[in-house]
Amino acid sequence: MRFLAFLLFAMLVGMPVGDSSAQSAVLWMSVEPAQPVNGSPVLFRVWVDKPLKSLSGIWLGHRVTFEFDSASRAWCGLAGVELGTAAGSHPLRLELISTNDTRSTSIQTVTTGQGSYASSILTVDDKFMSPNADEQVRIRQERALKRDVFRRGSRQQLWKGGFAAPVDNIVTEAFGVRRIFNGRQRSRHQGLDFRAALGTPVKAMNSGEVILARQMFYEGGLVVIDHGHGLLTMYLHLSDFKTTEGSRVSKGQIIGLSGATGRVTSEHLHVGVRWQGTYLDPAILLTMKLP
Ligand SMILES: [Zn+2]
């Protein structure tokens, strides 16, 4: 009954496609959110009328790893749309491998829109705009460290179910806002800011492995959790750590206390969602029903 409900859902919102190249396999697909924009995480659910050994995809230049979800009987794959991606139709190339090792492909078209992103003007301590020689060395070392650590993500899915907010407070600045620091440097806000008084407990948004938990120049107290399949969550400006690098954490576990360390204008919690090297909107991830 549950499977039929899902199938009906897929046929309503998805794109039923008879796939000629897939050796008579028929597939249906749903896309969540239904109308992704630049900056969105995206979940593809694919139902196939035959058992498969594996399903993988390529979309917008990224590999999409699918895993079979027995609850919905769908193959689920997490993807994302970079902020710089223009609105339009983007082909998703799926490769199906049947239980007898027959390969077939299917091309699905997924349309993305343009998100509406505001601008804001910020003032921070001038040392963050003009770091001295020692600070520049530190910044370079930390950049190299992050590059190295972010590259070694788990190939297994470590998250379980939907993501939960790290604090129960309001959002004070959305993802993607165009920012001007001290009247000059321009950047995009690559995460989501929550109001958080000093010392507010910060919870892991989902289960995973802590790959960074240390003080950084720009981020201040930083915790990064690897959730597998290229998906990381990052928690910035912390005043204290309640976890250590290499630890496994579960959803809702307290990993640190909020603060005002690093490049900040005042105390708050910044969270980032990084997928395969690109930053995505945490607010959208928080609304998604993930397997
Ligand atoms: Zn922020």
pLDDT of residue 254: 98
- How far is the centre of ligand 1, averaged over its atoms, from the C-alpha of 212 (Å)? 18
Q: Is 107 exposed, middle or buried (0-12, 13-18, 19+ CB in 10 A)?
A: exposed
Q: Is 109 exposed, middle or buried (0-12, 13-18, 19+ CB in 10 A)?
A: exposed
- How far is the centre of ligand 1, averaged over its atoms, from the C-alpha of 126 (Å)? 18
- How far is the centre of ligand 1, averaged over its atoms, from the C-alpha of 25 (Å)? 45
Distance between CA atoms of residues 181 and 128, nearest Å: 10
Q: Do the Cβ atoms of 221 and 239 come closer than 8 Å?
A: yes
* Residues 138, 75 share a domain: no
CATH number (domain holding residue 108): 2.60.40.10
pTM: predicted TM-score of the whole model, two decimal places: 0.89
- How far is the centre of ligand 1, averaged over its atoms, from the C-alpha of 116 (Å)? 18
- Give, in order, the Cα–Cα distances in Å from 145 to each of 4, 40, 97, 228: 48, 27, 37, 19
Distance between CA atoms of residues 244 and 255, nearest Å: 8
- How far is the centre of ligand 1, averaged over its atoms, from the C-alpha of 72 (Å)? 35
Query: What average pLDDT does the structure give for the chain?
Result: 91
pLDDT of residue 119: 86
Domain boundary among 89, 112, 135: 112
- How far is the centre of ligand 1, averaged over its atoms, from the C-alpha of 194 (Å)? 8
- How far is the centre of ligand 1, averaged over its atoms, from the C-alpha of 265 (Å)? 10
How many domains, the chain? 2
* Residues 168, 98 share a domain: no
* Residues 223, 183 share a domain: yes
CATH number (domain holding residue 262): 2.70.70.10
Task: Residue 283: give the domain boundaries.
Answer: 119-287
Sheet architecture: strand order including 178-181: 119-122, 178-181, 185-188
- How far is the centre of ligand 1, averaged over its atoms, from the C-alpha of 122 (Å)? 11
Domain boundary among 60, 93, 112: 112
* Residues 274, 205 share a domain: yes
3-state class (DSSP) for residue 84: coil
Confidence of residue 140 (pLDDT cuts 50, 70, 90): very high
Tell me the CA end-to-end span of the chain in Å, nearest whole number: 18
Distance between CA atoms of residues 216 and 179, nearest Å: 21
Which of 78, 10, 100, 114 has its CA nearest to residue 228? 78
- How far is the centre of ligand 1, averaged over its atoms, from the C-alpha of 262 (Å)? 11
Q: Do the Cβ atoms of 277 and 258 come closer than 8 Å?
A: no
- Give, in order, the Cα–Cα distances in Å from 78 to each of 11, 83, 109, 206: 20, 16, 16, 15
- How far is the centre of ligand 1, averaged over its atoms, from the C-alpha of 61 (Å)? 27
Q: How confident is the model over 226-253, as pLDDT tens digits?
A: 999 999 999 999 999 999 999 999 999 9
- How far is the centre of ligand 1, averaged over its atoms, from the C-alpha of 154 (Å)? 26
- How far is the centre of ligand 1, averaged over its atoms, from the C-alpha of 190 (Å)? 7
- How far is the centre of ligand 1, averaged over its atoms, from the C-alpha of 2 (Å)? 40
Write phi, then psi, for 8 (nearest 5 degrees). -60, -45
- How far is the centre of ligand 1, averaged over its atoms, from the C-alpha of 51 (Å)? 44
**Stated length of the chain:** 291
Q: How confident is the model over 197-212, as pLDDT tens digits?
A: 999 999 999 999 999 9
* Residues 198, 55 share a domain: no
> Which chain residues have CB less than 5 Å from ligand 1, an ion?
191, 193, 270
* Residues 134, 7 share a domain: no
Q: Do the Cβ atoms of 235 and 257 come closer than 8 Å?
A: no
pLDDT of residue 3: 45
Which of 234, 212, 60 has its CA nearest to residue 145? 212
- How far is the centre of ligand 1, averaged over its atoms, from the C-alpha of 176 (Å)? 10
Q: How confident is the model over 57-104, as pLDDT tens digits?
A: 999 999 999 999 999 999 999 999 999 999 999 999 999 999 999 999
Distance between CA atoms of residues 218 and 264, nearest Å: 8
- How far is the centre of ligand 1, averaged over its atoms, from the C-alpha of 235 (Å)? 10
- How far is the centre of ligand 1, averaged over its atoms, from the C-alpha of 193 (Å)? 5
pLDDT of residue 129: 83
- How far is the centre of ligand 1, averaged over its atoms, from the C-alpha of 62 (Å)? 26
- How far is the centre of ligand 1, averaged over its atoms, from the C-alpha of 16 (Å)? 40
- Give, in order, the Cα–Cα distances in Å from 8 to each of 1, 16, 36, 46, 255: 11, 11, 21, 13, 40
